[in-house]
Structure formats: structure tokens, C-alpha cells
Chains A and B, each alone.
Chain A
Amino acid sequence: MGRNSAHWFALPAVALLGVFLLYPFLDVLRFSTWDWSGLSEPRMIGLENYQKILRDPDFYNSLRITLIFGVMTLVPFVILSILLALALDGQPYERPVKALLFLPGLVTLGGAAVAWYTLFSPEYGALASVFPVPRWDQSPFWALVLIMLFTIWRHIGYGVLVVSARLKAIPRTLLEAAAVDGATPAQAFRYITLPLLRPAITFLVVIGTVLTLQGYTAVFLLTRGGPFGGTEVLGYYLYKTGFEVGRLGYAAALTVVILILTLAFALAQARLLREER
């Protein structure tokens, strides 16, 4: 029995991923040239869907909301990850706290959303009886804040882990040498720790982008795009157009556009990463 016979063991994974991941990924281009509701017979319409997207005010609105949501989530996510990792470093409670921070990312999303909803709902929520909760059911801004808090809540554990792993790789002797040379803790942080953390920070930005892209699940669970369409991030707009309105061809074209935007973003970030090496 030759060693090469082992290669066949990859077949199930390769075949399944080829059919259910790679093929749909490429096939979306074909769907995007269709006028198709999922039930009707598809009709070929060429690039008409793309032309419509370029003139679609809802698309631009959704793009704007996604960018706002992205920045709104990314900045506190990165800062909080760094601060927490620094504060936790070397503390006796470091392990249990890290373990707890990691938990929200794994637990049942729908259940977590229920807990958040019953806590923070301005009308029925438990906290509303203790202090006035901002009306996120009426104000698009507060609704975005809610989605942002939920997103950070779910992923802060991972963010802390990223910074923490990097922090542990900084040699103690470096900071001790700085202290011997008379650097204050603030100076040591500014000129030694922070520059050495930069790769971790760049990585957090990359993760943050992915989280922004995934934010639509939280939108679906908590606000359903409302109030007044104020939380309709791109992913949610895609879902709504495809499966609630039933314009699958148009949604396929939207998918392609979002993929291209994401790719452009990822390339820009990859360049940033390379410049830092």
C-alpha cells in the first residue's frame, strides 16, 4: 500500500467544499444576471441589476449605515481590547476573567438576544423600570449603539486574547531596562509597548471589519433594520431584498458588489499589514 493512497482521504472534504462553498461563490455571478424571485422561471437580463444598484438610494443609504456602524464598533472595540489586556496582564484574576469574556461569543445567539431585549427594551425592559433607557426603538442612533454594544459584547473576549498574546511576547527585560534608564511607566508604554502592539492592533482592525460584515444577524435579532431603516446594514439589506421582498437576482448582484467592496477593503488592509513588517 503506497503512501499516495492516503491522498484519497481528502476527497470528502474537497468534494463537499467544492460543491457547497466554491461553486456557490462562483455561481453568484450567473444569478446576478437574472430577474428571479426563487419561485418564478429566471429571466436573463444581463447587467441590468448592476445598473439598478448604482441608482438605488436604499443601497447607498445602507452603505452609509454600514460605514458608520463599522467605525462606531471598531474604535471602541480596539481601544477596549487594548485597555483590558493591559489591565488584566499578570493579575491573579486574569484567567477566569478572560474565560468569562470569551463566553458571549459562543452562547446561543437567539438566547443572548432575548436576554438583551428583555433587559434593554425601552418599553418592556427590566432596566426601564430602574432608569430611563434611551428610546432605541425610535432613534436610529441609539439603535445603532445597541447593535454596537451587542457586537462588542460578543467579541471582546477574542479582542483581549489577541492583544494579550502579543503582550506576553514582549520581553520583560526590555521594560526593565527602560525603567532603569529612568523612563516613567507612561513613557515606557508610549515608546515600547504601543509600537510593539501594532501588529495586534492591525489584526484587530481586520477582525473588526469581519464583525461589521456579520453585524446583520444582530440587526435581524434586535431591530430588524428599524427604526425607519436606520440599522439596515448591507448584510441585512441583502437578506431583506432577497428573502423578504423576493428579488433574488437583484440580491445576487448585491452580493457581488459587497464581495468586491470587502475585497478592496481587505487588500487595503493587507497593504497596511505589509508596510508594518
Chain B
Amino acid sequence: MRWLGHLLVWTVTLLVALPFIWMAYAAFIPPEVIFSGEIFSALGFSLANFEVLGRGGFWEGFWGRLLFSVLLTGSVTLLQLTTGFLAAYAIKEGARILPFFLVLLAIPVELLLVPLYGLLVNLRLLDTLWALVLPFAASPFIVFLLFQGMRTVPEELLEAARLDGAGHRVLLTRILLPLLRPQLIAAGVLAFAAHWNLVLYPRIVAGSKELKTVQTWITDLQRQNPADWGPLSAAALAATLPLVILYLLYERRIVETFEEGLKG
């Protein structure tokens, strides 16, 4: 029985890893090898695929879009953490609004494409940067996650600080911020991944060239040249690497946060 378990684990692990291995391999295949069709027999290494990505103007090419997406999603993540942190603090201090966030948590955001589009049209925000920022500036999930973390901070600690004359600003930045660092990191990575992985939404509400996210850019390239693997894989690898690195840095924290969430 035991060996069957090992076999299952390793088969699945290999299959799960396969697309990653392939992505890393295909990104460095020399272009001439792809068109000859002998991709596995003739080993080669080339950076030509990455050079192709740099063609065209910087801001409209791949690297510009990657930079734009990192900055955009990074800012949105910071906003979400800030609004979430402040709201969690308010709840900790006795504001009775936790049910409000819990109800919102149950709304399937995936299904709100149409009314959100309508709202953005009415607010004249369609095809502006705000369309990619404002709807994601706060998240009930992040509020909940950070409140869970704040619950573990002993009330006596905050009370003692208050007696010493500490105001909200000191409590938030000097005491709660360092104590909640692990939760903020985990919440931050998850928030980053969620915004980074929006596919249809940015396409609909911000389709112009200056606002294209790296996701949209890659998907467009795949539509135009489905057979041209080299540049496609290079783009996929370069766009995936930031998240992989972020994940590897904080993997333990992220998995633990999920496990804690499952206990609750």
C-alpha cells in the first residue's frame, strides 16, 4: 500500500510541475529548433526569445507592460492592506461592522462584470486607471484576515500603551504594524496574486494601449501567434517569475495562513 502512495504523490507532483518545467525550457529554445520540429532531440540555449519581446516601443512592448502591471498591482495591494488594516483596527476597537464585511465576502465578484461596467460608465471612469484601482482598493477578505490576526493581540497591551498617552497613530504604527507583519505579508501576497490574475475584467474596463496589463498582452500575443512558442514562453516565464519569487520567499507564511483559516 505504502509504495502506491509514493507513486501517486510523485506522479501528481511531476504532472503539476510539468507546465512550469516546460515553460522554463521552452523560453530558452533557439527559434530555429522550434521550426525544425526537433524540440527534444536538439538541445540548445538562446536568449533570442527574450530579445523578441523587447521589440516595439518600451511602454507598448512586453517589458513596459510588465513594469506597469507590477506597479499597478503593487499599489492596489498597498491600498487594500491599508484600508483593511484600518478597518480591522476599527472592528478591534468595538465598531460593530464585522457582519457587513462577512456578507460582502459571500458576493461572488466574478459575476459582477456587467453592473461594475455600468457603474464605471456612469462615473465616467471607463478606460481610466481608476477603473483598475478603485474597485479593488478594499477587500472584505483582507479585512477579515487582518481582523483574525488582530484578535490575537492582547487587549492589555493596547490598554497599557493608551495609559502612556499613545494615540491611534502610535498604536497602529508602533504596536500593531510590527505585530501583524506575518498576516500582512500573507494577505499582501494573496491580494497581489488576486489582482495580478484578473483576466477578463481589465480587458473590458480598460482596453486601451496605455492601460493594458501584462496578462492581456500575453493573451493577445497567444491569439496572434499561437504557434510561435519561443516568445510566448519567454513572456509567460518573465510574467510568472515575480509571483514565484514572492511565493517562495513567503511560502511558509502563506500556507500557514490558509491552514489557520481552515481551523476557524
Contacts and interface: CB of A to CB of B under 8 A. Distances in A.
B222 interface: yes
A119 to B, nearest CB: 5
B255 A24 contact: no
Tell me the dominant secondary structure on chain B's binding face: helix
Interface in A220-277: 220-221, 235, 238-239, 242-243, 248, 251-252, 255, 258-259, 262, 266
Nearest to A31: B118
Interface string A19-48: 111111101100100000010000000000
A67 B110 CA distance: 18
A5 B235 CA distance: 49
Interface stretch (A56-64, A173-181, A209-217): A209-217
A83 B4 CA distance: 11
Interface string B23-38: 1001000000000010
Interface string B48-74: 000000000000000000000000000
Most buried by B among A87, A111, A214, A252: A111
Interface residues of B, number: 92
Nearest to B96: A7
Given A100-B13, A112-B236, A107 B243 contact: yes
B167 A1 contact: yes
B229 A153 contact: no
Instruction: Give the interface size class of chain A.
Output: 35 or more
A248 B204 CA distance: 12
B19 A119 contact: yes
Interface in B80-122: 82-84, 86-87, 89-91, 93-95, 97, 100-101, 104, 106-119, 121
Interface in A57-91: 80, 83-84, 86-88, 91
Interface in A135-162: 153, 156, 158, 161-162
22 contacts: A3-B94, A5-B168, A7-B90, A8-B90, A12-B82, A20-B135, A27-B118, A87-B4, A100-B13, A100-B16, A106-B247, A107-B243, A108-B218, A109-B199, A110-B214, A115-B20, A115-B23, A117-B222, A129-B39, A213-B111, A238-B114, A251-B114
Given A17-B139, A239-B200, 13 more contacts: A5-B168, A6-B89, A6-B95, A21-B109, A22-B104, A84-B8, A112-B19, A112-B236, A114-B233, A220-B200, A221-B199, A238-B114, A243-B204
9 shortest A-B CB distances, which residue pairs? Answer: A87-B5, A111-B236, A6-B93, A24-B115, A10-B90, A13-B87, A9-B86, A16-B138, A28-B115
